[in-house]
Chain A
Amino acid sequence: MAMLEVENIHSYYGNIHALKGVSLTVDEGEIVTLIGANGAGKSTTLRTITGILKPRDGRVQLDGEDLSHYKPHEIVYKGIAMVPEGRHVFARLTVSENLDMGAYSRNSKQEIADDLERMFTLFPRLKERRSQVAGTLSGGEQQMLSTARALMAHPRILLMDEPSMGLAPVLVEAIFDTIKQINKEGTTILLVEQNALMALSVANRGYVLQTGEIVLNDTVDKLKKDPTVQKAYLGME
């Protein structure tokens, strides 16, 4: 059974039908990517999974449990954490305080301290700046912080919304290396990206979303060879 199962969800913004029956699954240990153009519904899918947006139809299941009736903050306790689009670190809190907030759903002081050490090994830059206010960090550092903050919840599955957005190419590479690293350490990842090339290079499987519908669903190797994907998302003719 898949770990995360999204079944035929229909989400709306007011009267706008943003998701028209999206279904996808993520198995334990995988990196699955969701690619698509601006406005295709990628972020909407993630917002529906985290419970910020309630679908009018369909459901989201984690390990077979229906999440429809949980509030967004309760879903975190179920093991889903998200790196939001645009990073959204708490600008007036220090780096340490941001990480503390990431671990808000947890109680064991020892485990939190261990994970904090792990984050500081993964992102040494954050350790240097731990007592600095997060608003003073650079874009790349904020992305690291946002990622580390989500990992502090020790999620079973990590949702990442456009982690490469607005970053210099060299930082994009670094972020994708970390994504692989995090996955190797045992976290399942659902990655939403506009940078299809990078996304397809780290993921196991991919879904292509177009105006609220899944139009393709395959392993990354096959997606990379698919002519429509090549044309629309990889910029090849």
Chain B
Amino acid sequence: MLRPEHTIFRAPFAVELQLEDTPSPDNFQKWQPGFPDTVRTFEVFTASGDKDEPGLVTGDGGFEDVPDAERILGGINMKGPQYAAIARHGSLVMWGFHSTPERLTDTGRRLYLNTLAYAVAHKGALVETLRLRPVRDDLDRALGIFLGLYPPERRLGMVRRHIGGEAVPPELVTDEALRARWLAERRPFLHPIDDGSNWETAYQLAVDVQARELGVANDAPAFLDAIAARLLADADDALAAALLARYVPGVAPAALRGWLREHRDALYFTEAGGWQWRVRGERATSPRLRRVGDERDGLVRLDADVSATTLTITMRIAEGWHAWSPKAVGQEPVAVAILPDSAFEVAGDLDWSDDGHGMLDGYCQIKVPIRRVAAGDRLHVAVTYTICDASTCKPPRTVELER
């Protein structure tokens, strides 16, 4: 993956690419059948006699479905030939190579400096979509590339981990033509089976039966027009209202036609960003909450992420220390409160990853079901905990997180 015409190879410093033919890694042909035996490369770092940390590449699936991101350069890696080591998302530029600077070649040094300049040139560029959900390409690769790499007895289970909502015929595993037909029939109407809060189903796609009933692919502009037409005929059309809420959250049925008139030329559909129709130029909303204040606890690191239905509190408790869930009798449990200035409230019982007897130690999570009670994304959370070791307990602390 090399875009030699890209400005990052020209400015501000000319990068002379001394390209060589390097044997393609075996994995490239597994990832992309038919990939050539050699790949054009150039040296960024001189080879090291010492064992060095590996670099980093990131996958191309869904990367460029919205032009807030671009892949620029790949490299020899253990994944696929389209994976990127240099890539941009908004104003953030990834340099996936890893070594010390004295080993940069002249080419590598200029490319690195150009990478810094390229990031600066994108000051103000927004991250508009995130990588939150599986995409159709993921399913294509799972069934087209990875399935054959699994032992035969595990292939059906692998398919079922990617497709939910209906029985998967066992013949799909062995009959490639059937698999292609089966997938083609469903592809236009696929949608994640839930909001990703459940690890077991986070990567599953399923047919959205309501989208199929509408009869238009959910990523086609005609999909929105079909919803608008149904609402024009019947303002209380339940199918149209449900699809609108799912694919265009925040736009009321009565406002859809005006919203379409205003934004039609700037609309895009993002799978990775949440299987939604969005308007270009709007910044992404992060699932990660921000810590309020600068005070930190050296014994507990606390993070929070939110989906449409679940607030997940992650605690990393230092070795030798622990906290308690409500399951522990006579102990002061961790308390999670959603504060009143939030657009959400607690919607059910909390799920604790304790040891079965109420102890929380090491890496642990608290999952809080939530539901929306007001417009907007505001979420303000207070987590109060007491941690103890074998002999003593610290005074309780409260940490606030917000977005």
A and B found bound together: no
Q: Which residues of B contact A (CB under 8 A)?
A: none
Q: Which residues of A contact B (CB under 8 A)?
A: none
